[in-house]
Amino acid sequence: MSNKVCDFEYKITRSLKARSIRISIYPNCEIKVTASHLIPEFIIHNFVNKKSDWITKKLAKFRANPVSKERLFLRGLKRKDFAENKKRALELIKNRLEHFNKHYGFEYKKISIRNQKSRWGSCSHNGNLSFNYKIVFLKPEIQDYIIVHELCHLNELNHGASFWNLVGEMVRDYKKVRGELKRL
């Protein structure tokens, strides 16, 4: 069902899992409002009305920064793409970890490849590294940044100055590359 408040339309989706009202705004300027079946529609409309300034700002931001082809491609990947590229991602990551770890000499345990929506990598406190399989579709300098970033978390489990100094040892222009990654 499509609804209109102020200068934008939005779609209401009912969910059994929803405990509150959530507004999602997508880069294509689509607005979805998710709510429990128990919440009356007028309360949803009032909530959206109260958030109209925030929604308008988000829409303006997306309109000012159109979605890149790379971002659209990455968002269009399906479950079968994960199965087809998981092994390729693991090989890439193992090779690059070995290359960069010649410099750092950190100890890591398990490497896992996952299909994540919003994370490119992670490092657990016990030395396990996890990476998003979609890394194989990125430019080599962005791939290297992600791998070095997680590798450096083995030594610094934070984003303090020491951490960024470590990253900068192997990825000199990490700020630029990090900005590119954020735009994906």
Query: 3 pLDDT exceeds 70?
Result: no
Element (H, E) at 180: helix 174-182
Is 161 found in the same domain as 96? yes
Q: Is the pTM of this model over 0.85?
A: no
Q: Which of 36, 66, 96 is the last residue of a domain?
A: 66
Tens of pLDDT, residue by residue over 128-163, are 999 999 999 999 999 999 999 999 999 999 999 999
Q: How many domains does the chain have?
A: 2
Q: What amino acid is encoded at 114 in this protein?
A: R
The pLDDT, as a whole number, for residue 86 is 94
Is 81 found in the same domain as 141? yes
In the chain, count of helices (H) and strands (E)? Answer: 7, 7
Is 76 found in the same domain as 62? no
Q: What confidence category does residue 183 fall into, taking pLDDT thresholds of 50, 70 and 90?
A: confident
Percentage of the residues of the chain whose pLDDT score is greater than 90? 71
79: domain range?
70-182
Is 156 found in the same domain as 75? yes
